[in-house]
Amino acid sequence: MDERQLRILRELGELGSVTAVAEALLVTPSAISQQLRLLQRAIPVPLTERQGRRLVLTDAGQALAGAAIEVETALERARHAVAEFVDRPDGEVSVAAFHSAGSAFFPLLLRGLAAPGGPRLALADADVTQDDFPPLTREYDLVLAHRLEHTPGWPRTVTATTLLREPLDVAMPVDHPLAVKRRLTPRDVADQPWITAHDGFPVVATIDAIATAAGRRLRLAHRINEFAVVAEAVAAGGGLALMPRWTMRPHPALVLKPLSGVQARRHIDALHRPERTARKAVRTVLAELHRAAGTIRGRG
Protein backbone atom coordinates (compact mmCIF):
# COMPACT_ATOMS: atom_id res chain seq x y z
CA MET A 1 0.00 0.00 0.00
CA ASP A 2 1.70 3.14 -1.15
CA GLU A 3 0.72 6.70 -1.86
CA ARG A 4 0.11 6.19 -5.56
CA GLN A 5 -2.21 3.26 -5.06
CA LEU A 6 -4.19 5.18 -2.48
CA ARG A 7 -4.38 8.11 -4.87
CA ILE A 8 -5.77 5.83 -7.55
CA LEU A 9 -8.31 4.37 -5.18
CA ARG A 10 -9.48 7.80 -4.15
CA GLU A 11 -9.79 8.98 -7.73
CA LEU A 12 -11.72 5.87 -8.60
CA GLY A 13 -14.16 6.71 -5.84
CA GLU A 14 -14.62 10.22 -7.19
CA LEU A 15 -14.45 9.61 -10.92
CA GLY A 16 -16.23 6.29 -10.95
CA SER A 17 -14.35 4.47 -13.67
CA VAL A 18 -10.91 3.12 -14.37
CA THR A 19 -10.72 4.95 -17.68
CA ALA A 20 -11.52 8.28 -16.08
CA VAL A 21 -8.84 7.74 -13.45
CA ALA A 22 -6.35 6.83 -16.16
CA GLU A 23 -7.10 10.04 -18.03
CA ALA A 24 -6.87 12.11 -14.87
CA LEU A 25 -3.50 10.62 -13.94
CA LEU A 26 -2.19 10.61 -17.51
CA VAL A 27 -1.58 6.89 -17.80
CA THR A 28 -3.26 3.99 -19.56
CA PRO A 29 -6.22 2.19 -18.00
CA SER A 30 -4.04 -0.88 -17.89
CA ALA A 31 -1.70 0.78 -15.43
CA ILE A 32 -4.61 1.71 -13.18
CA SER A 33 -6.01 -1.77 -13.31
CA GLN A 34 -2.67 -3.29 -12.39
CA GLN A 35 -2.10 -0.95 -9.50
CA LEU A 36 -5.56 -1.63 -8.15
CA ARG A 37 -4.82 -5.32 -8.29
CA LEU A 38 -1.59 -4.80 -6.34
CA LEU A 39 -3.39 -2.75 -3.73
CA GLN A 40 -6.10 -5.36 -3.41
CA ARG A 41 -3.46 -8.03 -2.84
CA ALA A 42 -2.58 -6.36 0.45
CA ILE A 43 -6.16 -6.10 1.70
CA PRO A 44 -8.23 -9.11 2.72
CA VAL A 45 -11.60 -7.64 1.79
CA PRO A 46 -12.70 -6.43 -1.66
CA LEU A 47 -12.09 -2.73 -2.25
CA THR A 48 -13.78 -2.58 -5.64
CA GLU A 49 -16.54 -4.35 -7.46
CA ARG A 50 -17.92 -4.42 -10.95
CA GLN A 51 -21.06 -2.43 -11.58
CA GLY A 52 -22.07 -3.27 -15.09
CA ARG A 53 -18.99 -2.53 -17.11
CA ARG A 54 -17.66 0.01 -14.64
CA LEU A 55 -15.60 -0.54 -11.53
CA VAL A 56 -16.71 1.13 -8.30
CA LEU A 57 -15.62 1.13 -4.68
CA THR A 58 -17.08 -1.19 -2.07
CA ASP A 59 -17.82 0.18 1.40
CA ALA A 60 -14.39 -1.02 2.50
CA GLY A 61 -12.89 0.74 -0.50
CA GLN A 62 -14.61 3.95 0.48
CA ALA A 63 -13.26 3.62 4.00
CA LEU A 64 -9.75 3.30 2.63
CA ALA A 65 -10.26 6.09 0.12
CA GLY A 66 -11.23 8.33 3.01
CA ALA A 67 -7.96 7.56 4.71
CA ALA A 68 -6.21 8.21 1.41
CA ILE A 69 -7.43 11.79 1.51
CA GLU A 70 -5.63 12.27 4.81
CA VAL A 71 -2.46 10.89 3.29
CA GLU A 72 -2.66 13.28 0.37
CA THR A 73 -3.41 16.17 2.66
CA ALA A 74 -0.36 15.37 4.74
CA LEU A 75 1.79 15.08 1.63
CA GLU A 76 0.52 18.39 0.35
CA ARG A 77 1.28 19.96 3.67
CA ALA A 78 4.76 18.51 3.48
CA ARG A 79 5.24 19.98 0.03
CA HIS A 80 4.41 23.39 1.43
CA ALA A 81 6.24 22.93 4.71
CA VAL A 82 9.51 24.25 3.40
CA ALA A 83 7.87 27.19 1.70
CA GLU A 84 6.01 28.05 4.89
CA PHE A 85 9.19 27.81 6.87
CA VAL A 86 10.85 30.04 4.33
CA ASP A 87 8.06 32.59 4.23
CA ARG A 88 7.48 32.95 7.93
CA PRO A 89 8.08 36.58 8.77
CA ASP A 90 8.43 35.76 12.46
CA GLY A 91 11.08 33.06 12.35
CA GLU A 92 14.15 33.09 14.54
CA VAL A 93 17.14 34.81 13.03
CA SER A 94 20.57 34.39 14.59
CA VAL A 95 23.03 37.26 14.27
CA ALA A 96 26.65 37.19 15.34
CA ALA A 97 28.78 40.31 15.53
CA PHE A 98 32.24 41.23 16.65
CA HIS A 99 32.22 43.35 19.79
CA SER A 100 32.14 46.90 18.54
CA ALA A 101 29.63 46.10 15.81
CA GLY A 102 27.51 44.36 18.40
CA SER A 103 27.50 47.30 20.74
CA ALA A 104 26.52 49.64 17.91
CA PHE A 105 24.11 47.46 15.91
CA PHE A 106 22.45 45.23 18.50
CA PRO A 107 20.57 48.02 20.30
CA LEU A 108 19.31 49.41 16.99
CA LEU A 109 18.25 45.94 15.83
CA LEU A 110 16.46 45.18 19.06
CA ARG A 111 14.56 48.46 18.95
CA GLY A 112 13.84 48.28 15.22
CA LEU A 113 12.49 44.74 15.36
CA ALA A 114 10.71 44.85 18.70
CA ALA A 115 7.28 44.74 17.01
CA PRO A 116 5.44 41.43 17.41
CA GLY A 117 5.07 39.42 14.23
CA GLY A 118 8.56 40.29 13.14
CA PRO A 119 11.68 38.14 13.32
CA ARG A 120 12.77 36.93 16.71
CA LEU A 121 16.40 37.81 17.19
CA ALA A 122 19.04 35.51 18.61
CA LEU A 123 22.09 37.71 19.07
CA ALA A 124 25.61 36.61 19.88
CA ASP A 125 29.01 38.22 20.11
CA ALA A 126 31.88 36.58 18.31
CA ASP A 127 35.27 38.16 18.20
CA VAL A 128 37.43 36.03 15.97
CA THR A 129 40.30 36.50 13.55
CA GLN A 130 39.40 37.60 10.08
CA ASP A 131 39.70 34.09 8.65
CA ASP A 132 37.24 32.73 11.15
CA PHE A 133 34.34 34.98 10.21
CA PRO A 134 33.14 33.00 7.17
CA PRO A 135 32.85 29.67 9.05
CA LEU A 136 30.53 31.38 11.52
CA THR A 137 27.89 31.50 8.80
CA ARG A 138 27.36 27.81 9.40
CA GLU A 139 26.02 28.54 12.83
CA TYR A 140 24.48 31.98 12.39
CA ASP A 141 22.12 33.30 9.78
CA LEU A 142 23.94 36.62 9.63
CA VAL A 143 27.48 37.42 10.70
CA LEU A 144 28.76 40.95 11.11
CA ALA A 145 32.42 40.86 10.15
CA HIS A 146 34.98 43.52 9.55
CA ARG A 147 37.93 43.83 7.25
CA LEU A 148 40.10 46.69 6.11
CA GLU A 149 39.30 48.45 2.90
CA HIS A 150 41.31 47.20 -0.09
CA THR A 151 41.95 43.80 1.41
CA PRO A 152 41.13 40.60 -0.49
CA GLY A 153 37.58 40.29 0.76
CA TRP A 154 35.60 37.21 1.67
CA PRO A 155 35.64 33.75 0.12
CA ARG A 156 33.15 32.87 -2.60
CA THR A 157 31.33 30.49 -0.33
CA VAL A 158 29.65 33.33 1.55
CA THR A 159 27.68 36.30 0.37
CA ALA A 160 28.81 39.64 1.77
CA THR A 161 27.14 43.03 1.72
CA THR A 162 28.88 46.08 3.14
CA LEU A 163 26.97 47.83 5.89
CA LEU A 164 29.40 50.53 6.83
CA ARG A 165 32.73 51.92 5.68
CA GLU A 166 33.99 53.28 8.94
CA PRO A 167 37.10 55.49 9.41
CA LEU A 168 39.66 54.46 11.99
CA ASP A 169 40.99 57.38 13.95
CA VAL A 170 43.89 57.76 16.31
CA ALA A 171 42.76 57.82 19.92
CA MET A 172 44.71 59.71 22.56
CA PRO A 173 44.15 61.34 25.94
CA VAL A 174 42.57 64.79 25.74
CA ASP A 175 45.75 66.31 27.19
CA HIS A 176 48.13 64.57 24.77
CA PRO A 177 50.51 66.89 22.87
CA LEU A 178 49.14 65.71 19.51
CA ALA A 179 45.58 66.51 20.59
CA VAL A 180 45.96 70.08 19.45
CA LYS A 181 46.25 69.11 15.77
CA ARG A 182 43.19 68.67 13.58
CA ARG A 183 44.69 65.85 11.53
CA LEU A 184 47.62 63.54 11.98
CA THR A 185 50.13 62.16 9.55
CA PRO A 186 51.92 58.82 9.84
CA ARG A 187 55.08 60.73 10.69
CA ASP A 188 53.27 62.45 13.60
CA VAL A 189 52.45 59.16 15.25
CA ALA A 190 55.35 56.94 14.31
CA ASP A 191 57.34 57.73 17.45
CA GLN A 192 54.55 56.98 19.87
CA PRO A 193 53.98 53.66 21.65
CA TRP A 194 50.97 51.81 20.19
CA ILE A 195 48.24 49.67 21.56
CA THR A 196 46.97 47.29 18.95
CA ALA A 197 44.99 44.07 18.56
CA HIS A 198 46.37 40.56 18.55
CA ASP A 199 47.82 39.22 15.32
CA GLY A 200 45.27 38.10 12.76
CA PHE A 201 42.73 40.74 13.69
CA PRO A 202 41.86 43.21 10.95
CA VAL A 203 43.06 46.49 12.45
CA VAL A 204 46.62 45.24 12.71
CA ALA A 205 47.18 45.71 9.00
CA THR A 206 46.62 49.45 9.28
CA ILE A 207 49.38 49.66 11.85
CA ASP A 208 51.69 48.11 9.28
CA ALA A 209 50.53 50.67 6.72
CA ILE A 210 51.35 53.54 9.05
CA ALA A 211 54.81 52.07 9.63
CA THR A 212 55.37 51.80 5.90
CA ALA A 213 54.19 55.36 5.26
CA ALA A 214 56.41 56.75 8.01
CA GLY A 215 59.34 54.65 6.93
CA ARG A 216 60.04 53.12 10.29
CA ARG A 217 58.89 50.37 12.61
CA LEU A 218 56.30 51.20 15.25
CA ARG A 219 56.62 50.23 18.83
CA LEU A 220 53.76 47.92 19.72
CA ALA A 221 53.52 48.35 23.45
CA HIS A 222 50.33 46.43 24.15
CA ARG A 223 48.12 43.89 22.42
CA ILE A 224 44.48 44.35 23.44
CA ASN A 225 41.52 43.25 21.32
CA GLU A 226 38.60 44.73 23.14
CA PHE A 227 38.17 48.43 22.31
CA ALA A 228 36.62 49.27 25.67
CA VAL A 229 39.78 47.98 27.34
CA VAL A 230 41.93 49.71 24.77
CA ALA A 231 40.20 53.00 25.51
CA GLU A 232 40.98 52.74 29.20
CA ALA A 233 44.57 51.87 28.42
CA VAL A 234 44.91 54.85 26.10
CA ALA A 235 43.32 57.16 28.67
CA ALA A 236 45.83 55.96 31.22
CA GLY A 237 48.70 56.94 28.92
CA GLY A 238 49.56 53.48 27.67
CA GLY A 239 49.96 54.72 24.11
CA LEU A 240 48.02 55.61 20.97
CA ALA A 241 45.51 53.31 19.35
CA LEU A 242 43.38 53.10 16.26
CA MET A 243 39.72 53.22 17.14
CA PRO A 244 36.55 53.18 15.05
CA ARG A 245 34.97 56.55 14.66
CA TRP A 246 31.28 55.58 14.94
CA THR A 247 30.79 52.25 16.56
CA MET A 248 32.50 53.02 19.87
CA ARG A 249 30.77 55.06 22.51
CA PRO A 250 32.99 58.15 22.98
CA HIS A 251 35.24 57.94 26.04
CA PRO A 252 35.21 61.16 28.10
CA ALA A 253 38.98 61.23 28.53
CA LEU A 254 39.85 60.56 24.89
CA VAL A 255 39.86 62.41 21.62
CA LEU A 256 39.87 60.88 18.13
CA LYS A 257 41.96 62.48 15.39
CA PRO A 258 41.71 61.50 11.73
CA LEU A 259 44.78 60.15 10.03
CA SER A 260 45.96 61.36 6.63
CA GLY A 261 48.04 59.58 4.07
CA VAL A 262 47.00 56.07 5.02
CA GLN A 263 43.89 54.11 4.14
CA ALA A 264 42.50 53.85 7.64
CA ARG A 265 39.04 52.61 7.06
CA ARG A 266 37.34 49.34 7.78
CA HIS A 267 34.39 47.67 6.19
CA ILE A 268 31.68 46.26 8.37
CA ASP A 269 30.07 43.54 6.29
CA ALA A 270 27.13 41.28 6.79
CA LEU A 271 28.14 37.75 5.80
CA HIS A 272 25.72 34.90 5.18
CA ARG A 273 25.35 31.74 3.19
CA PRO A 274 23.47 32.51 0.00
CA GLU A 275 20.53 30.25 0.81
CA ARG A 276 19.85 31.88 4.14
CA THR A 277 18.18 34.87 2.51
CA ALA A 278 15.56 32.50 1.15
CA ARG A 279 13.91 33.09 4.50
CA LYS A 280 11.82 36.20 4.69
CA ALA A 281 12.73 36.73 8.33
CA VAL A 282 16.41 36.79 7.46
CA ARG A 283 15.83 39.30 4.70
CA THR A 284 13.93 41.49 7.13
CA VAL A 285 16.82 41.50 9.58
CA LEU A 286 19.32 42.19 6.83
CA ALA A 287 17.29 45.20 5.72
CA GLU A 288 17.13 46.39 9.31
CA LEU A 289 20.91 46.10 9.54
CA HIS A 290 21.29 48.40 6.56
CA ARG A 291 18.88 50.87 8.12
CA ALA A 292 20.86 50.74 11.35
CA ALA A 293 24.06 51.35 9.42
CA GLY A 294 22.54 54.52 8.03
CA THR A 295 21.65 55.66 11.52
CA ILE A 296 25.14 54.96 12.79
CA ARG A 297 26.74 56.78 9.87
CA GLY A 298 24.38 59.73 10.26
CA ARG A 299 25.06 60.33 13.92
CA GLY A 300 28.84 60.10 13.48
Partner DNA sequence: AATGATCCTTTAGTTTCCCTACATCGATCC
Partner DNA sequence: GGATCGATGTAGGGAAACTAAAGGATCATT
By the rule CB under 7 A, 58 interacts with DNA: no
Query: How many residues make contact with a second copy (CB under 8 A)?
Result: 34
SS3 for the chain is CCHHHHHHHHHHHHHCCHHHHHHHHCCCHHHHHHHHHHHHHCCCCCCEEEECCEEEECHHHHHHHHHHHHHHHHHHHHHHHHHHHHHCCCCEEEEEECHHHHHHHHHHHHHHCCCCCCCEEEEEECCCCHHHCHHHHHCCCEEEEEEECCCCCCCCCCEEEEEEEEEEEEEEECCCHHHHCCCECHHHHCCCEEEECCCCCCCHHHHHHHHHHHCCCCEEEEECCCHHHHHHHHHCCCCEEEEECCCCCCCCCEEEECECCCCCEEEEEEEECHHHHHCHHHHHHHHHHHHHHHHHHHHC
Using CB under 8 A, which of 1, 25, 27, 253 touches a second copy? 1
Stretch that binds a second copy, among 23-31, 65-73, 150-158, 233-241 (CB under 8 A): 65-73
Q: Pick out residues in 72-91 that bind a second copy (CB under 8 A).
A: 73-75, 77-79, 81-82, 84-86
Using CB under 8 A, which of 26, 52, 114, 138 touches a second copy? 138
Q: List the single partner that 70 binds among DNA, a second copy, none, CB under 5 to 8 Å by kind.
A: a second copy
Q: List the single partner that 3 binds among DNA, a second copy, none, CB under 5 to 8 Å by kind.
A: a second copy
By the rule CB under 7 A, 78 interacts with DNA: no
By the rule CB under 7 A, 57 interacts with DNA: no
By the rule CB under 8 A, 6 interacts with a second copy: yes
By the rule CB under 7 A, 19 interacts with DNA: yes
By the rule CB under 8 A, 15 interacts with a second copy: no
Using CB under 8 A, which of 14, 30, 34, 66 touches a second copy? 66
Give the strand pairing for 159-173 and 254-257: antiparallel
Write down the least CB distance from residue 98 to DNA, Å.
Answer: 24
Using CB under 7 A, which of 6, 9, 11, 48 touches DNA? 48
Write down the least CB distance from residue 2 to DNA, Å.
Answer: 6
Question: How many CB atoms are closer than 10 A to CB 239?
Answer: 20
| Contacting residues for 183 by C-beta, under 8 A, at least 6 apart | 257, 258, 259, 260
By the rule CB under 8 A, 70 interacts with a second copy: yes
Nearer to DNA (CB atom), residue 57 or residue 256: 57
| C-alpha–C-alpha distance, residues 154 and 271, integer Å | 9
Using CB under 8 A, which of 28, 30, 37, 43 touches a second copy? 43
By the rule CB under 7 A, 41 interacts with DNA: no
Write down the least CB distance from residue 247 to DNA, Å.
Answer: 34
At residue 270, what are phi and psi to the nearest 5 degrees?
Answer: -100, 120
Nearer to a second copy (CB atom), residue 6 or residue 96: 6
Nearer to a second copy (CB atom), residue 6 or residue 270: 6
| Residue ranges that bind DNA, judged by CB under 7 A | 2, 4, 17-20, 26-38, 48, 50, 52-55
